[in-house]
Structure 1
Amino acid sequence: MKKILILTTFLGICTIASATTISLNETFTSTAKTSSYKINVSAENQSLSFDTIQNNMESILKKVKDLKENKNLECNGGKYSINPNVIYINNKRETKGYVSNINFTCTYNDTKSLNKFINYLNKSNINKISIGTSNPILTEEEITNSYRKLENQAYTFAIDYAKNLEKLFSNKTCSIKDINISKDQRYTPVLRNTLMESSALSKTSSITKPIDDSLEVKINANYTFLCE
């Protein structure tokens, strides 16, 4: 894991009698490589028959359930409604059959299972398929490990900084009075992948992993040192 130390953003020094208090803010950043991704998939179905659309949507939900049970792909969502398909002919409002949309947010580790789902939708009676942006995500274990390493880095920095302060104040003993660490809960992609959206996908369409498979994890540390 690559670690980047961002230099001091704030430094405060307060001297009272023979004691000197130093306040310091530091930001620590690391780049975490991930193997998990998230993508939005939606499908639209139009038909003159209400039952046909309902059967199509229920078949999609069954496919998603099967993929999840086999631990191939996890897709959340899947709520849908069937509404009259309203069109305008010569400025006249008419109803032509029914239309329904179904949306999923899918999490995947490899593209094979995701493409299997996309191909299933292509071969079904769906009229339109839309694919959103595929983004890297961190697992709970990856998040915990990243924060733990950054916190160790922050504590090591504090120990070294106290030693350097003793060299600066040669007649004083310097110690760590307080450390307050806060986690930045935003995980920023190192590189932003190109937006990929498609409707009426071809039968040979497939999803590939995004180039940016790394996320930036960050903590902020507020230090107080005492030299006396």
Structure 2
Amino acid sequence: MNSSPALADLPQIERRTLAETAYDALSDLLASGRLVPGDRLSLRQSAAALGVSVMPVREAVSRLVADGALEVAPNRAIRVPVLTVAEFRALAETRMAVEGLAAARSAERRDAAELAAIRRAEAAFRAAAAAPRPDGARAVALNRDLHFAVYAACGLPPLREIIARLWLKAGPMINLDLRAHPERIVGGCAIRRHAEMLAAIEACDGPAAAAALAADIGDAAEFILSRGRLRET
């Protein structure tokens, strides 16, 4: 039996939706720091975890490879890239400029509800750091929550989209800092930098907010570089 030609005009809604869902889920794993550089990603295991077929996961992975957030190894394995020192420095410098702009804009235009959300996120990270045995994985997630609470108030959706793509690469690298070295949560600079950023946003001081945000990224970058876990070339 021949199928109706009209069927060819129907959009593949379900498949496209599943691919977007898979992309969002895998992006969250990367941005939230639940994957580290060098981790491998199985298409079949990812599909099983999401309850979908392999096809939408393959499409999502292809997008993430195009984004530079994942890479295909010579043996065809999908993995989180291990950046070179130069690549990491470039990523950190770009983040300081782009995310600093977002922090400055947020300080200058945030409303009461957005400021309250930033305060809650900063308090949550500070409370996690005060725990007797800080949970590195939770600290990574709370750090991301605070940063994105700040960026949500910048009023520039295209800027937030750029930052979201940067964090696909930054999340696993931040994991090398807070999650691998939970002592940094208590003794590091993150709490102080977060407090400085919050104070600047409360005071509507854009330059100070940008400076605190850039210092936060820079402090973490220097620590990661000091651990010698990046490729030289």
- Length-normalised TM-score, structure 1: 0.20
- Length-normalised TM-score, structure 2: 0.20
Q: In terms of Rg, which structure is larger?
A: 1
Decide which structure has greater helix share. 2
Decide which structure has greater strand share. 1
